[in-house]
Amino acid sequence: MTQPLVDSVSAAKLNQYLQSQNSGFKVFYGPLYSAYDLAGTARVDNAGTQQINAQTISFFQASLGQPGQGFQRALRLVETNLDGAPGQLPGGYSFVGHTLGVYYHPATPLPVKDWLTRHASLVHIRHSNTWPAGAIAFWPEASFGHQSQSVATTIANSLLQYGVNGAAASRAFPDGGELYYPAKEVIRFDVILHEPAFITVDGLTADGADFPDGNQIPEAEGALLYVMMEGYRFEKLSA
């Protein structure tokens, strides 16, 4: 028999709906990551030489489908999986970061990686709180992407590249020290570039031609640097 549509029934149904919203979450495991194209910024800073200026670059400030962070096009899923407003998860989603790392894309030239290791540091910003995390060399990440599990090679005169060979995992936070991001909470990491550098294949001033004809990094390839956290993403359930 159909219940009569009265205020008390409607109120009870509304209360049931609100309770079910808070009853649980879907849980997804994986990384939350954001890329920055250093080559794109170098072309803007100094088009002729492609030298990037000493500056602070920010991550998680461009979301999926938006331009920014050195990219002149919309960011794709290979560059970020942040899908809310810039610097935020969408409503109904939260994230708990258990590890933190700075990932060098394997295609980024070795001179650029060496310069970053010596002359760049990581900062976490949360509202008015700033956490200087130190040199990015102390926040390595090479557990994802294109790299071998080998830590040595028998090939004569070969070069072991940081972030490509080996499988260094992100630095894990101690129990209770995880990073928590409720829905629409600010997510921002800065990398401070303390010295300028030429963002080219050989680390020298641009010669006017893209690789392999010259030493410039093609715009389609870029010189990518990632900040990523590994952890759990929670989706709030609703009726």
Choose the weakest-confidence range: 56-70, 109-123, 161-175, 181-195: 161-175
Highest mean pLDDT among 19-23, 124-128, 195-199, 233-237: 195-199
Q: How confident is the model at residue 164 (pLDDT cuts 50, 70, 90)?
A: low
Beta carbons of 75 and 67 less than 8 angstroms apart:
yes
Q: What is the pLDDT of residues 104-159, one digit of tens each?
A: 888 888 899 999 999 999 999 998 899 999 999 999 888 765 554 444 555 555 55
Q: How confident is the model at residue 69 (pLDDT cuts 50, 70, 90)?
A: very high
> Would you kindly state where each structural domain of the chain is located, as residue ranges?
25-236
pLDDT at 5: 54
Amino acid at 10: S
The three state secondary structure string of the chain is: CCCCCCHHHHHHHHHHHHHHHCCCEEEEEEEEEEEEEHHHHHHHHCCCCCEECCEEEEECCCCCCCCECCECCCCCCCCECCCCCCCCCCCCEEEEEEEEEEEECCCCCHHHHHHHHHHEEEEEEECCEEEEEEEHHHCECCCCCCCECCCCCCCCCCCCCCCCECCCCCEECCCCCCEEECCCCCCCEEEEECCCEECECCCCCCCCCECCCCCECCCCCCCEEEEEEEEEEEEECCC
The whole model's pTM is what?
A: 0.83
Separation of alpha carbons 35 and 71, rounded Å: 9
Q: Would you say residue 215 has pLDDT above 90?
A: yes
**What average pLDDT does range 204-215 have in this prediction?**
94
Q: How confident is the model at residue 239 (pLDDT cuts 50, 70, 90)?
A: very low
